[in-house]
Amino acid sequence: MERIEQQAAFAVEIDKVKNIFRQTWLADGSRKENDAEHAWHAALMAVLLAEYSNEPIDILKVVKMLLLHDLVEIDAGDSYAYDEAAQATAHEREQKAADRIFGMLPKDQRQEFRGLWDEFEEYETPEAKFAHVMDNFQPLLLNDAADGKGWKEHQVKRANIEKRNRKTSKGSKRINEYIEQIIDRNIEKGNIEP
C-alpha cells in the first residue's frame, strides 16, 4: 500500500475514538465526554500549564503523547480509572491494540507513534510524567466543574483519587497541590467520600 493510503486508512480508523465514551461528565454536566474530547482537552491544557512542569519539557512531544495515548481504546475500550477489575487487564488489552492500530502506519510513523505511546506508558521521562499529570488532572477538573457528578455517580472515595494521582507530584508539584485543594473542597461539599 502506498504511504498516503496507509496514512489515510489510519486517519479513518482513529475517527472511531470519537465513539469511545468515558465516565467523565462535561463541565456543564450535560453528557459524558468521549476519548477524542479528552485527548484534545488534555493536550491544550498541557500547552496552557506547561510552566508547572517540575522539569523542562518538549511540549510538542507532550501534546503528541496526549493525542495518541487513548487511541488504543478503539480496540481495548475505556477502563474507568476507579474500576480495579478493568484496570487489572487494561495493560494487556492496550498492548495488543497498540500493535494493531499503530501497525497500520508507514514504518517510520509506526515507530514514532508507538514509541511515544510506550514512553507515555513507561512514565519515566519528564514529558511522560507531565502528560500523565494532564491525563489525570483534566477529568478531575471536569468532575469539580460538574459539581462532582461523576464522583457521586460512582461513589468515589478520597483514597481512590489519591491512588490515581499518587505520581502526580513527579510531574508537577504545583498541580498536585491544587488537586489536593480540589479534593478537600469536594469532600466538604459531599461530592467525594472521605
Question: 39-92 pLDDT, tens per residue?
Answer: 999 999 999 999 999 999 999 999 999 999 999 999 999 888 887 887 788 889
Residue 192 CA to residue 149 CA, distance in Å, equals 10
pTM flag (> 0.85): yes
Give the largest Cα separation in the chain, rounded: 58
Residue 116 CA to residue 11 CA, distance in Å, equals 17
Residue 46 burial (CB count, 10 A)? 26
**DSSP code of residue 50:** G
At 44 the pLDDT is 98
**DSSP code of residue 18:** G
Residue 130 CA to residue 141 CA, distance in Å, equals 16
Residues lower than pLDDT 70 in the chain: none
Q: Treating both helix axes as pointing N-terminal to C-terminal, what angle do 126-145 and 59-68 enclose, rounded to 10 degrees?
A: 60
Q: What angle do CA 118, 37, 104 make, to 5 degrees?
A: 45
Mean of all residue pLDDT scores within the chain: 96
At 84 the pLDDT is 82
Per the CB < 8 A criterion, the answer to whether 32 and 20 are in contact is no
Q: How far apart are the first and last CA of the chain?
A: 56
